[in-house]
Amino acid sequence: MSDQIPHACPIEQPHSRRGFLSTVLMVIGVAAGYGLGLLHFLEYLVPLRRKTPKREMFVGTLAEFQVGASVTLRDPRGEEISLTRVHDDKTEPANGFKALSSTCPHLGCKVHWDAGKGEFLCPCHNGVFDKNGIAISGPPAKEKKNLSTFEVRVNKDTGWVYVMVSAGDDNVA
């Protein structure tokens, strides 16, 4: 007779399976919680750029703007915009306009349109911008800082001219 101990018969343990599932669910929950927390932390460090809502600001009719004419407007946030009709585009009238910020990107002086030269001039440090707002001389050109642009829309049926401006009180330039 052998005095070996008989092999222990594996006993089904329903509690161990439940325990395993509980552990898996707990790990998933903790991972999701930490993941969400990490996402919020990253968003705090690197804020996502949200699209600024825009709206149309009516500025006049096509007939009111002669080619070469320039007017200064103020958007709802108080930003001055220089709207110039640089040429007469028969197929896409909006393409004949340029709407640029009147604020010099160097130190914030007001630029003005010189129709004779076809340029925007900043009197503070002799900054010069072409008709598209590209800095061509002075400190803004050295710093490669151009005038901000605004979209212009023209309703072809009515001839009404609009400049797209920020709708809210956001702080996007």
Find the helix or strand (DSSP H, E) in which 56 lies.
strand 54-61
Site string for ligand FES, 91-130 (x = CB under 6 A): -------------x-xx-x------------x-xx-x---
User: How many positions of this chain bind ligand FES (CB under 6 A)?
Assistant: 11
Find the helix or strand (DSSP H, E) in which 161 lies.
strand 160-166
Between residues 124 and 164, which has the closer beta carbon with respect to ligand FES? 124
Single residue of 62, 96, 140, 165 touching ligand FES by CB under 6 A = 140
d(CA 45, CA 129): 36
Contact region with ligand FES (CB under 6 A), list: 6-14, 133-141, 152-160, 164-172:
133-141
Give the interface with ligand FES as residue ranges (CB under 6 A). Answer: 104, 106-107, 109, 122, 124-125, 127, 138-140
